[in-house]
């Protein structure tokens, strides 16, 4: 296997494990940040610089900042979180959802033999122009459906916050 | 191998240059504030006190490195590094001159001309907030946490108009490469106006400069370290060179943002109406383009200082309402008008 790949995949996995086991809230968020950065490095390695930069600027630059904001608003540095969930129903629910997620990932393994062989990269692969062409010509419908979905979430969030006030 | 050598030289040069500029900026800031407030400022070390940054540096290095007892040691050490590192990496994609020919080889005056340079700057710019947050949290101090909290809230609010203002520029020039954007700004349009971003995006530039001051945590947006409210914000507990890294990172950020303003809105290394490459030799042209770019950047660096000592700090709710109620709608309007006009002219 590729040493570059191994370094970043170990980094991503290690940071992910640290993230769910950390007792302090902010180091846990920093673990998630490391996961995002490692994933972005893997995308770079797969000749997809645009996706890599989106990974950093959207996930690490916007979503995680929001999470960190909530952490800083609601907790203090001395506050510690218990490692194991005591509530039995939560544990069962987590196990079922985790199993489902693993099953979904296992289905994804079907395509693994396409990945492990080196393939010719088409000319201009990963260039913003090509990316835009794909997004707004070939996959326009998917793009619009995703944006409608986000709009629904946005309206829902506004409705919920209005109701409380 | 040779390409690697050239790249290494460029990286080292830009690294050293940024360090020198950031160091000199601390002196410019103190002398500038003195000038505006009708004082003398540091004038003892060397002519006009120009060696003052050196004295400050020696002072910071030789001070005792104090770590508060209740601080989280690892986070406390990590904070300044996480703040300074993105600041230094952001400059990699900014073209600091056109090109220079040495020994028959054409060398582009830019560390990396990547076709996503523009997005890289945005991604790296957002990273610097983690240094503030980690430092504030690691200090385990009320004021530090408040500073970190303000910093995240500010970033979330101002990253949106920042990005939208930049996107309008991309719509006009049709590329993410900063070098290509500068190359597009040569010559004139409508017969007499220089082909600069400022004339095509006047509203976009105003939005950009306001949000850039917020990204750099400078007055009037320096709420994360507001001295009159929360002592010194996120770096209350820091001393010695750790504090030095925070202060230094701020000046490096200022330099990058000034260079970005010149690149996007003020024609990069171009002088209006004059094409330098026509009558200067290849080496002289390279140096001239670098100097022109640097002089323009200097003006915006001075503007940062000028604004800091002229404008009072916003109140916190004013910052938020300005961001959400004025800047974001204006940025959306600007984006819409730009897209509409570009669509008409195609």
B241-295 pLDDT per residue, tens: 888 888 888 888 888 888 888 888 887 777 777 777 777 777 777 788 888 888 8
What pLDDT shows up at residue A63? 86
Q: Where are the domains of chain A?
A: 3-121, 127-165
Residues 6+ away with beta carbon under 8 Å from B231? B143
Q: What is the pLDDT of residues B114-160, one digit of tens each?
A: 777 778 888 887 888 888 888 888 888 888 888 888 888 888 888 88
User: What are the φ and ψ backbone dihedral angles of B337, each rounded to 5 degrees?
Assistant: -60, -45
d(CA A129, CA B115): 10
Residues of chain B above pLDDT 70, percent: 97
Beta strands in chain B (DSSP E): 99-102, 105-108, 188-189, 193-194
Q: What are the pLDDT digits (tens) for A49-83?
A: 888 888 888 888 888 888 888 888 877 766 666 65
Q: Which of A56, A28, A75, A20 is nearest to B148 (CA)?
A: A75
Q: What is this model's ipTM? A: 0.78
DSSP B50: T
| Helix residue ranges, H only, A22-165 | 25-45, 49-54, 64-74, 88-108, 112-116, 128-133, 140-164
| Core vs surface per residue B242-253: b (16+ CB within 10 A) or e | bbbbbbbbbbbb
Q: Are strands B105-108 and B188-189 parallel, antiparallel or unpaired?
A: unpaired
> With an 8 Å Cβ cutoff, are A128 and B116 in contact?
yes
| DSSP single-letter state for residue B312 | P
Tell me how close the Cα of B245 comes to any Cα of chain A, in angstroms.
20
Q: What is the pLDDT of residues B288-330, one digit of tens each?
A: 888 888 888 888 888 888 888 888 888 888 888 888 888 889 9
Using a CB-CB cut-off of 8 Å, the residues of chain B touching A73 are 149
Q: Which residues is B99 bridged to in the sheet? A: B108
Print the domain residue range for B51: 4-345
> Rounded to an integer, what distance in angstroms lies between the CA atom of residue B221 and that of residue A14?
37
- Report pLDDT for B183: 81
Cβ contact B143:B232 at 8 Å:
yes
Contacts of B134 (CB under 8 A, 6+ apart): A26, A30, B75, B78, B79, B82, B148
DSSP-based three-state secondary structure for A67 = helix
The number of C-beta contacts closer than 8 angstroms across A and B is 71
Neighbours of B135 (CB within 10 A): 33
Are B153 and A27 within 8 A, CB to CB? no
Residue B78 has a CB neighbour count (10 Å cut-off) of 18
Distance from CA of A120 to the nearest CA of B (A): 21
Average pLDDT taken over every residue of chain B: 82
CA neighbor of B270 nearest in space, from B97, B131, B117? B97
- Classify residue B340 by burial, with Cβ atoms within 10 Å: 0-12, 13-18, 19+: exposed
Residues of A in contact with B138 (CB under 8 A): 77
Q: How far is CA A109 from CA A103, A106, B180, B297, B321, in A?
A: 10, 5, 41, 52, 49
Domain count, chain B: 1
- Please write the tens of the pLDDT for every residue from A91-135: 889 899 999 999 988 887 776 666 666 667 777 677 777 888 888
Which fold does the domain A3-121 belong to in CATH?
1.20.120
For chain A, report the end-to-end CA distance as a whole number of angstroms. Answer: 56
Cross-chain CB nearest to B152 (options A57, A68, A78): A68
Please state the pTM of the whole predicted model. 0.82
């Amino acid at each position: 296997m590729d040493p570059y790949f191994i370094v970043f995949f170990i980094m991503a996995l290690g940071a992910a494990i640290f993230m769910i086991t950390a007792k302090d809230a902010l180091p846990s968020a920093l673990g998630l940040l490391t996961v995002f950065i490692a994933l972005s490095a893997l995308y770079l390695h797969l000749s997809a610089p645009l996706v890599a930069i989106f990974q950093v600027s959207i996930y690490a630059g916007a979503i995680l900042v929001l999470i960190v904001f909530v952490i800083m608003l609601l907790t203090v540095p001395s506050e510690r979180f218990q490692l194991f969930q005591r509530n039995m129903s939560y544990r069962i629910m987590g196990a079922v959802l985790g199993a489902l997620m693993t099953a979904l990932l296992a289905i994804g393994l079907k395509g693994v033999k396409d990945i492990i062989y080196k393939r010719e990269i088409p000319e201009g692969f990963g260039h913003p122009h090509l990316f835009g062409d794909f997004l707004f010509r070939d996959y326009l419908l998917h793009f619009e459906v995703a944006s409608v979905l986000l709009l629904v979430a946005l309206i829902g969030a506004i409705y919920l916050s209005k109701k409380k006030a | 191998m040779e390409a690697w050598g050239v790249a290494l030289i460029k990286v080292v040069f830009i690294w050293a240059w940024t360090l020198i500029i950031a160091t000199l900026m601390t002196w410019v800031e103190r002398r500038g504030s003195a000038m505006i407030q009708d004082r003398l400022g540091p004038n003892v070390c060397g002519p006009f006190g120009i060696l003052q940054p050196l004295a400050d540096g020696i002072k910071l290095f030789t001070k005792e490195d104090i770590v508060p007892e209740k601080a989280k040691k690892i986070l406390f050490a990590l904070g300044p590094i996480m703040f300074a590192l993105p600041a230094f990496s952001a400059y990699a994609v900014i073209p600091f001159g056109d090109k220079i020919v040495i020994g028959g080889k054409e060398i582009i005056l830019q560390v990396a001309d990547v076709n996503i340079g523009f997005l890289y700057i945005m991604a790296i710019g957002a990273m610097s907030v983690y240094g503030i947050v980690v430092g504030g949290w690691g200090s385990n101090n009320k004021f530090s946490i408040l500073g970190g909290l303000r910093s995240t809230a500010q970033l979330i609010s101002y990253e949106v108009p920042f990005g939208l203002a930049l996107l309008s520029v991309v719509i006009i020039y049709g590329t993410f490469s900063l070098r290509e954007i500068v190359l597009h700004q040569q010559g004139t349009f409508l017969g007499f106006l220089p082909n600069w971003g400022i004339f095509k995006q006047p509203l976009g530039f105003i939005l950009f400069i306001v949000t850039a001051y917020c990204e750099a945590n400078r007055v009037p947006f320096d709420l994360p370290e507001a001295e009159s409210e929360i002592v010194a914000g996120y770096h209350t507990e820091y001393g010695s060179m750790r504090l030095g890294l925070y202060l230094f990172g701020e000046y490096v950020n200022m330099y990058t943002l000034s260079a970005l303003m010149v690149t996007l809105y003020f024609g990069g290394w171009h002088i209006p109406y004059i094409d330098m490459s026509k009558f200067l030799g290849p080496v002289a042209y390279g140096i001239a383009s670098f100097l022109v770019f640097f002089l323009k950047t200097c003006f915006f660096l001075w503007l940062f200082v000028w604004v800091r000592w002229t404008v009072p700090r916003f109140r916190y709710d004013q910052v938020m309402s300005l961001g959400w109620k004025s800047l974001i709608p204006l940025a959306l309007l600007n984006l819409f008008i730009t897209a509409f006009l570009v669509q008409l002219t195609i």
